[in-house]
Amino acid sequence: MNYIDKLIAYAEETGLIQPCERFWAANALLEVLQLPSCSALPEAPEGEQPLAAILGALTDNALSRGVISDNSITNRDLFDAALMGRISPRPAQVVERFSALYAESPESATDWYYKFSQDTNYIRRDRMARDIRWTTDTEYGALDITINLSKPEKDPKEIARARELPASDYPRCLLCAENEGYAGRLNHPARQNHRIVPITLSGGEWFLQYSPYVYYNEHCICLNREHIPMIIDRPCFEKMLDFVRQFPHYFVGSNADLPIVGGSILAHEHFQGGCYVFAMERAQIEQSITIPGYEDVNAGLLKWPVSVIRLNSKDPERLTQLAEHILNAWRGYSDPEAFIFAETDGVPHNTITPIARKHGEVYELDLALRNNITTEEHPLGVFHPHAELHHIKRENIGLIEVMGLAVLPSRLKDELAAVADVLVSGADLSSDEKTAKHAEWAREFAPRYDIKPENVTDIVRRETGLVFRTVLECAGVYKRNPAGRAAFLRFIDSL
């Protein structure tokens, strides 16, 4: 059995192709490999092999014959996506299957679609397995911490080559529906094995897909059919609540619509959701509030480091009305005593990160108040991780972080391991490039522990999680102290 035979056997076993499609699949794969027949391939080892190993062997063979130009991660990804694209079902088949399963239950449809997205290697299981994950207990609950290693990092040579490519506006961004089936290029990932499912939100054309990087279970993305900018407004709330009506086992949220406090792609309207319970969802209301004119909607301030108003109602229309009222009030609200400014020099600062859920018959909206003002002292943002925390987290605090999941940079895999080694050995933290930026932090927490080789990793991870807790407290526009609570209630009274 050669590697084409193995890949076809995998495709049959996972339902990507039917037995009657074997010859068609073999010929399609030969075309990508630029081979005249399967006999031109070496024999594969006996026994079951993971998909990554099969694709790796076929890619190595293509590399040895000059079919792909170099051994970079990008070129390998472009090539193996082309292989998988040849044996992935057509979009119409995927939509038909999803719709049939949705008629049984929304869970059946998403269970199948999530597995399918992994079977096609659009979600790369082997890379997901590399991610480092743990939880850290805090006064706000157990925060999720992940060092994300599933998103490949390009080397400087690849980046340089990508810069030399002519500008392209197709697809316009990574979220556009036109990515489905796209061959990719050095500066745009291949998506031949990518399939999206059409859904309707508040009467508009949208699509459902999964994130290829899966920061949490069934990490999905809802994207507008049109390439239009993200905006938090009443229609946004309506669409989110319509989504959880159709997929009540999923939550859905939106990044804010302003820089610094928003996501990385503000040019294309999209939401993120999935089947996961974050610490934020488990957080309790610590102070109930009543907003005049909306006494029928349960509301309260959440025990959470980011400043959050939680709303509950069986009536999604009333929930939408109140959310719009709070949003409009917050957009124009200033409180200099709390350093809250709606705008400076005509530049708006206030917005909201909203999250929607459905518990039985009750709809729920969490509204995280955000502000992106900057100062000389905090040029990246006053309500952004402060400079002393940048050794762990410098990036924007978006939707996923707001809910209690730290997505930390891959550099921390080696850096935190090096910190652990130095804490055990007693060497100088400042003498190594990997540990120098963490030296002050490590020296501060180390005296609180009896550090040994068998516990040092857990200690470093716990302290990393506590840094993330502080990061979230930085993002809170109202601090968790008496002055902050008084300021929060001043805004509530203004409603």
pTM: 0.95
For the segment 308-318, what is each residue's pLDDT rounded down to a tens digit? Answer: 999 999 999 99
CB neighbours (10 Å) of residue 298?
17
**Which whole number is the average pLDDT over 92-110?**
98
- 141-147: strand order across its sheet: 132-138, 141-147, 405-408
For the segment 46-61, what is each residue's pLDDT rounded down to a tens digit? Answer: 888 999 999 999 999 9
**Bridge partners, 356 (sequence order):** 252, 365
**Structure-token match 């207990």, residue found:** 137
Backbone angles phi, psi at 144, to 5 degrees: -90, 130
How many alpha carbons lie under 13 Å from residue 235 in its C-beta half-sphere?
9
Q: What six digits make up the tokens of 149?
A: 């290693």
- 220-224: strand order across its sheet: 197-201, 204-210, 220-224, 270-274, 251-253, 350-359, 362-371, 308-313, 298-302, 285-289
Query: What is the percent of the chain where pLDDT is above 70?
Result: 97
Q: What six digits make up the tokens of 207?
A: 């699509």
Q: What's the confidence (pLDDT) of residue 159?
A: 54
Backbone angles phi, psi at 90, to 5 degrees: -65, 155
**Which whole number is the average pLDDT over 282-295?**
97
- pLDDT surpassing 80 at residue 154: no
How many alpha carbons lie under 13 Å from residue 107 in its C-beta half-sphere?
3
- pLDDT surpassing 60 at residue 158: no
265 band by pLDDT with thresholds 50, 70 and 90 = confident
Alpha-carbon distance of 459 to 477, in angstroms, equals 30
Q: What's the confidence (pLDDT) of residue 30?
A: 97
160 band by pLDDT with thresholds 50, 70 and 90 = low
Contact in structure between 270 and 222 (CB atoms under 8 Å): yes
CA triple 284-290-292, angle to 5 deg:
155
How many alpha carbons lie under 13 Å from residue 102 in its C-beta half-sphere?
14
Radius of gyration for the chain, computed over Cα atoms and rounded to the nearest angstrom: 25
Alpha-carbon distance of 122 to 315, in angstroms, equals 38
Q: What's the confidence (pLDDT) of residue 40?
A: 85
Contact in structure between 380 and 253 (CB atoms under 8 Å): no
Q: What's the confidence (pLDDT) of residue 152?
A: 66
Alpha-carbon distance of 119 to 126, in angstroms, equals 11
Q: What's the confidence (pLDDT) of residue 42?
A: 83
- What mean pLDDT, rounded, does the chain reach? 95
Query: What is the percent of the chain where pLDDT is above 90?
Result: 91
Alpha-carbon distance of 404 to 487, in angstroms, equals 23
- pLDDT surpassing 60 at residue 25: yes
Spatial neighbors of 13 by CB under 8 A, at least 6 apart, are none
263 band by pLDDT with thresholds 50, 70 and 90 = confident
**Which whole number is the average pLDDT over 312-329?**
98
Q: What's the confidence (pLDDT) of residue 118?
A: 98
Report DSSP letters for 62-100, one per residue: HHHTTSSS---HHHHHHHHHHHHHHTSPPHHHHHHHHHH
Going by the DSSP 8-state scheme, the letter that residue 127 receives in this structure is H
Residue 448 carries which side chain, given as an amino acid letter? R
**Which whole number is the average pLDDT over 83-96?**
98
Alpha-carbon distance of 49 to 335, in angstroms, equals 62
Alpha-carbon distance of 298 to 437, in angstroms, equals 46
CA dist 6 → 15, 22, 33, 51 (Å): 14, 11, 15, 9
286 band by pLDDT with thresholds 50, 70 and 90 = very high
- pLDDT surpassing 80 at residue 234: yes
Pairing of the two strands 251-253 and 350-359 = antiparallel
Residue 258 carries which side chain, given as an amino acid letter? L
438 band by pLDDT with thresholds 50, 70 and 90 = very high
- pLDDT surpassing 80 at residue 320: yes
For the segment 376-395, what is each residue's pLDDT rounded down to a tens digit? Answer: 999 999 999 999 999 999 99
